[in-house]
Amino acid sequence: MSIPEIPPRQARERQRQGALLVDIRQAHERVSGQAEGALAIERDALEAEPARHLPAPDAEVLLICQVGKRSQAAAGALRAAGYARVASVAGGTVRWGEEGLPLVRPSLDADEADFLERYSRHLRLPEVGMEGQRRLQESRILVVGAGGLGSPAAFYLAAAGVGHLRLVDDDVVDRSNLQRQILHTEASIGSAKVDSARERLGALNPRVRVEAVAERVTSANVEALLEGMDAVLDGSDNFPLRYLLNDACVKLSKPLVYGAVQRFEGQVSVFDAGRHRGLCPCYRCLFPEPPPPQFAPNCSDAGVLGLLPGIVGLLQATEVVKLLLGIGRPLAGRLLQFDALAMRFREVGLAPDSDCALCAPGRPFPGYIDYARFCAGGG
């Protein structure tokens, strides 16, 4: 039996005559407005227990959603459950508003309304939903570096609603940074990068706590910086710091989201050996020894396309969000390489090194080393 669809004005008239109008959308969708007089009952709850929410099966019930598709499907489910006088409002709440019919906002406190409206597009994703968004809000991420990689990564992590970002960088903003480090502006020149970043991120999303740490990461403070963090995003630009972060993450069982850029090429991976010994590689499995300095110049020496860190930083942020939500397939055991000139991605499989000096199963933590000396070829 086909489900009748009625235009909003006719639905409004039937509502005045006693028909029950039911908005079956989720709470975050109703924040922007719902049809006046509509009873809010989410679709899943309505279909699961219609008798709990609706009057007698012979009552006239009009269902409304956003654009009319879900309400028609829900009406079909109610018909199958024995409710004979069920119809769907054509065009949903969108058309209701376009025709000038009254909309009302549900009564919510300011914080809840902000949460539901700000993250409404996330809340529509079954893989995220309310539970996932709350999980992001409770998450804590260490972002090392507020430069080329850390800027876009932190910007989108804050926008996504990651609740606590601990941002560590001991540098100040220079005019040459502005070509790629989007957290900073002309007015930020001379300021500490973490202070500039905290200001921009706070303006984007005041719900996020940004902890600005204007320090250099060393063996002495790395464990304190990782304390309480759910994951680490490596936005560093030098090998000594990459090895230090890797070693600390393995020791403390934290996932490390790695990224690197040079000239027109970048790469991203997730190193999660600390939580998955023998199953996932660490950074040392990929680079047991650092390349000679002449073969790995930094961006200030070799240059970098300003757009490239944005692409790689966003990929890193994506991996962080996936890890926090437990969705998708993370880049653990895979190195994703990007060539901007060819506009090509290439994936390389990474196996854990069973004899890795750091993460081999059963191997005790060897202790932190002089990483600058190690990367300079001093062993």
Is 263 part of any domain? Answer: yes
Q: Decide if pLDDT at 214 tops 90.
A: yes
User: Which residues lie below 8 Å from residue 158, measured CB to CB, with a gap of 6+?
Assistant: 165, 201, 204, 205, 208, 210
Domain end, chosen from 80, 108, 136, is at: 108
User: Which residues lie below 8 Å from residue 241, measured CB to CB, with a gap of 6+?
Assistant: 144, 217, 234, 371
Residue in this structure with the two tokens 């709850």, named with its chain if needed = 45
294-317 mean pLDDT? 83
CA distances from 281 to 148, 206, 334, 359, 363 (A): 25, 37, 9, 8, 14
Instruction: Please report, as a single letter, which amino acid is at residue 159.
Output: A
Same domain for 189 and 103, yes or no, is no
Q: Residue 176: give the domain boundaries.
A: 122-378
Same domain for 32 and 135, yes or no, is no
Q: Following DSSP, what letter does each residue of 161-173 receive, concatenated? A: T-SEEEEE---B-
Give the per-residue pLDDT at 301: 67
- The domain total for the chain is 2
Is 116 part of any domain? Answer: no
Same domain for 274 and 314, yes or no, is yes
Q: Reduce the DSSP state of residue 330 to 3 states and report it.
A: coil
Note if the pTM is more than 0.95: no
User: Which residues lie below 8 Å from residue 175, measured CB to CB, with a gap of 6+?
Assistant: 186, 189
Q: What is the pLDDT of residues 75-112, one digit of tens each?
A: 999 999 999 999 999 999 999 999 999 999 888 888 99
Separation CA 12–CA 302 (nearest Å): 67
Which residue has better confidence, 81 or 378?
81
**What CATH number is attached to the domain comprising 102?**
3.40.250.10
Instruction: Please report, as a single letter, which amino acid is at residue 271.
Output: F
Q: Decide if pLDDT at 27 tops 90.
A: no
Q: Decide if pLDDT at 210 tops 70.
A: yes
In this structure, what token pair is assigned to residue 362?
């059963």
Pairing of β 20-23 and β 39-40: parallel
Is 63 part of any domain? Answer: yes
Same domain for 182 and 254, yes or no, is yes
Q: Decide if pLDDT at 296 tops 90.
A: no
Same domain for 240 and 337, yes or no, is yes
Same domain for 360 and 318, yes or no, is yes
Domain end, chosen from 75, 108, 141, is at: 108
Pair 60, 19: CB distance under 8 Å: yes
Separation CA 357–CA 377 (nearest Å): 17
Is 17 part of any domain? Answer: yes
Same domain for 80 and 130, yes or no, is no
Is 117 part of any domain? Answer: no
**What CATH number is attached to the domain comprising 261?**
3.40.50.720
Q: Decide if pLDDT at 295 tops 80.
A: no
Q: Decide if pLDDT at 379 tops 80.
A: no
Is 114 part of any domain? Answer: no
Same domain for 74 and 186, yes or no, is no
User: Helix 129-137 and helix 308-325: axis angle, to 10°?
Assistant: 110
Is 113 part of any domain? Answer: no
Per cent of the chain over pLDDT 90 is 88
Same domain for 300 and 366, yes or no, is yes
Q: What is the pLDDT of residues 222-254, one digit of tens each?
A: 999 999 999 999 999 899 999 999 999 999 999
Same domain for 128 and 89, yes or no, is no
Is 159 part of any domain? Answer: yes
User: Which residues lie below 8 Å from residue 337, measured CB to CB, with a gap of 6+?
Assistant: 265, 266, 267, 345, 346, 347, 348
362-376 mean pLDDT? 92
Tell which phi-psi region holds residue 356, choosing left (phi > 0), alpha (psi between -120 and 50) or beta: beta
Q: Decide if pLDDT at 287 tops 70.
A: yes
Same domain for 97 and 155, yes or no, is no
Domain end, chosen from 73, 108, 143, is at: 108
CA distances from 25 to 10, 93, 270 (A): 20, 10, 37
Same domain for 322 and 190, yes or no, is yes
User: Which residues lie below 8 Å from residue 375, measured CB to CB, with a gap of 6+?
Assistant: 238, 239, 240, 243, 290, 293
